[in-house]
Amino acid sequence: MVSLFTDTASEMLYPIMPIYLKSIGFSILLIGVLEGFAEAIAGLSKGYFGKLSDSSARRVPFVQLGYGLSAISKPLMVVFAYPLWIFFARTIDRLGKGIRTGARDALLSDEATPETKGKVFGFHRSMDTFGAVLGPSIALLYLYYYPENYNVLFLLAFIPGLLALFASFFLKEKNAIKSIEKKPISFLSFIHYWKDSPLRYRKVVIGLLAFTLFNSSDIFLLLQAKQSGLSDTLVLAIYIFYNLVYAVFAFPLGILADKIGLKNVFIFGLLLFAAVYFGIAYNTNTTIFFFLFLLYGIYAAATEGISKAWISNITEKKDTATAIGTYAGFQSICTLMASTMAGLIWFQWGPETTFIVTGIATVVVALYFALITSASFSRQMR
């Protein structure tokens, strides 16, 4: 419920954020700098606060603080329309994400057994993504009646943010882990975990990060749909449709992953991703676009929660938040690099090349995952 309300608040603003920023004087370059800076803060802080959660043996306070900061950041965006203040508010939002991610996923892991990790993480992703359906739908309905009245929408987004914070107070600490590390923790100390982590963890994360390097922003897919002749309304409809498919399939695919293996479902998701990118490279048919985004939603359901469930199954319980936070931190950096690289390829050789290169790279990563693990390792992932 916490994730559902928070994502509803965030996704209410996602479709109009660039428009709002431009309306108060932000250039495209400044918007890019803002988002890059904010995501870098989120990425680096995930590892640090994950390590801090493990060392303090606490989960719930990090979850509550993280979601609280994200909630308060929404109205702050419209208090003062000045670039420095906007940078501050956006950073508060992303810092909140960094604080809560590792502890939240460790909390989910603590509520599951190795045999139910896919189910638990899948259910969480399903609820989280329903917020990505509700949020844009509410925003579209509001803007239909009150076009260009962006300030009030930011204030309205504070309501589900408050509901998320309220729901977080129902979380209870299990005290299932014992604090063993009392020495001070530096901001980048989580990087040392990489050297001490299990070999299986490093193998899996290397593959995940290799995929992330080619998994650019969904904006490129939506831009291709727009350039292929779809109207703005259809592009937004496709985005909402994708999130709805993602939300519907995340839970059942999580259950399936527990039965046939997390790795197997993840590889299936990668192959779907590659098929979508190959298909979207040359497609101009509206019906086929919806079919491709149907597959894209299933891909997301088969990979997002599954990857964290997989990681939590191959690391010690006392290091769960650190392991997931470390991966999430590196993932954020790779995501920035992926979008930059995709943009450069698009600029130099066109969108078709961008999507074909990404599809080929994804097939290679799928083969890597199929080959790096033995049959016994695959059984441990179930």
Whether residue 37 lies inside any domain: the answer is yes
Whether residue 368 lies inside any domain: the answer is yes
Q: Which of 55, 45, 21, 36 minimizes the C-alpha distance to 339?
A: 36
CA 151 → CA 17, 20, 73, 219, distances in Å? 11, 9, 13, 24
What is the full per-residue pLDDT of the chain (382 aa) written as tens digits?
Answer: 999 999 999 888 876 777 777 778 777 567 767 776 777 777 778 888 888 888 888 889 999 999 999 999 989 888 877 878 888 888 898 889 889 988 898 899 888 888 899 999 999 999 999 998 999 889 888 888 888 788 888 899 999 999 999 999 998 877 655 545 556 666 666 677 888 888 899 999 999 999 999 998 787 888 888 888 887 778 878 888 999 999 999 999 999 999 999 999 999 999 999 999 999 988 888 889 999 999 999 999 999 889 989 998 888 888 888 888 888 888 888 887 887 888 888 888 988 999 999 999 999 999 999 987 543 344 444 4
C-alpha neighbours within 13 Å on the C-beta side of residue 109: 30
Whether residue 85 lies inside any domain: the answer is yes
Whether residue 217 lies inside any domain: the answer is yes
Distance in angstroms (rounded) separating the CA atoms of residues 346 and 348: 6
What is the structure's pLDDT at 28? 58
Question: What is the enclosing helix (H) or strand (E) of 360?
Answer: helix 351-372
Say if residues 124 and 106 touch (Cβ distance below 8 Å): no
What are phi and psi for residue 217, nearest 5 degrees?
A: -60, 145
Write down the residue that tokens 């990118």 correspond to. 277
Say if residues 21 and 145 touch (Cβ distance below 8 Å): no
CB neighbour list of residue 52: distance below 8 Å, 6 or more residues apart: 62, 185
What is the structure's pLDDT at 380? 44
Question: What is the enclosing helix (H) or strand (E) of 22?
Answer: helix 17-23
Which tokens hold the place of 329? 């931190």
Which tokens hold the place of 135? 């949020």
Q: From the centroid of its chain, how far is CA 348? A: 28
| Domains identified in the chain, total number | 1
Calculate the average pLDDT of the chain: 85
Collapse the DSSP code of 112 into the 3-class scheme (helix H, G, I; strand E, B; otherwise coil) and give the result. Answer: coil
Whether residue 180 lies inside any domain: the answer is no
Distance in angstroms (rounded) separating the CA atoms of residues 23 and 10: 19
Distance in angstroms (rounded) separating the CA atoms of residues 332 and 40: 7
| Containing structural domain, residue 358 | 2-169+193-380
Say if residues 279 and 305 touch (Cβ distance below 8 Å): no
Distance in angstroms (rounded) separating the CA atoms of residues 288 and 79: 43
Whether residue 177 lies inside any domain: the answer is no
Say if residues 36 and 336 touch (Cβ distance below 8 Å): yes
Distance in angstroms (rounded) separating the CA atoms of residues 136 and 15: 7
What is the structure's pLDDT at 189? 65
Residue 114: CB atoms within 10 Å? 16
Buried b vs exposed e over 310-329: b needs ≥16 C-beta within 10 Å?
bbbbbbeebbbbbbbbbbbb
What is the structure's pLDDT at 375? 38
CB neighbour list of residue 33: distance below 8 Å, 6 or more residues apart: none
What CATH number corresponds to the domain at position 372? 1.20.1250.20
pLDDT tens, residue by residue, 134-181? 998 898 888 888 887 888 888 999 999 999 999 999 988 776 555 455
Whether residue 188 lies inside any domain: the answer is no
What is the structure's pLDDT at 223? 80
Residue 183: CB atoms within 10 Å? 7
Whether residue 19 lies inside any domain: the answer is yes
pLDDT tens, residue by residue, 5-29? 999 998 888 767 777 777 787 775 6
